[in-house]
């Protein structure tokens, strides 16, 4: 997912749990980094792609919860090869 879209959040205090609800037509990946920039955890929505036949009504895309738990999370990045939405970001 290097050529796609990404959103990063830098945490003032390290956290143990981070996440959000995401919606997208392609896989969305959540990556957590420690203060040194090392990847400490990763999760994604899966490789499923939502392409529908042309019709008058389109089914809504599913909203999926992405969540990571690891000690010392200092930065997170949400990334995808297609536009996506993110709601209710949380950390603690």
In angstroms, rounded to a whole number, what is the distance separating the alpha carbons of residues 68 and 49? Answer: 22
Q: What is the pLDDT of residue 1?
A: 52
* Number of domains comprising the chain: 1
Residue 70: which CATH number? 2.60.40
For 81, the enclosing helix (H) or strand (E) is none
54 is a domain residue:
no
Residues of the domain holding 28: 5-49+64-82
Average pLDDT, 10 consecutive residues per value, the chain (92 residues): 82 97 92 98 82 69 93 97 94 94
Confirm whether 57 is domain-assigned: no
- The model carries a pTM of 0.85
């Amino acid at each position: 997912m290097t050529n796609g879209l990404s959103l990063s959040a830098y945490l003032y205090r390290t956290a143990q749990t981070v996440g959000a609800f995401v919606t997208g037509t392609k896989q969305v990946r959540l990556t957590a980094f420690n203060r040194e920039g090392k990847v400490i955890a990763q999760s994604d929505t899966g490789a499923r792609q939502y392409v529908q036949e042309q019709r008058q009504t389109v089914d809504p895309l599913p909203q999926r919860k992405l969540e990571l738990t690891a000690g010392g999370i200092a930065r997170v990045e949400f990334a995808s090869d297609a536009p996506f939405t993110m709601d209710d970001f949380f950390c603690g």
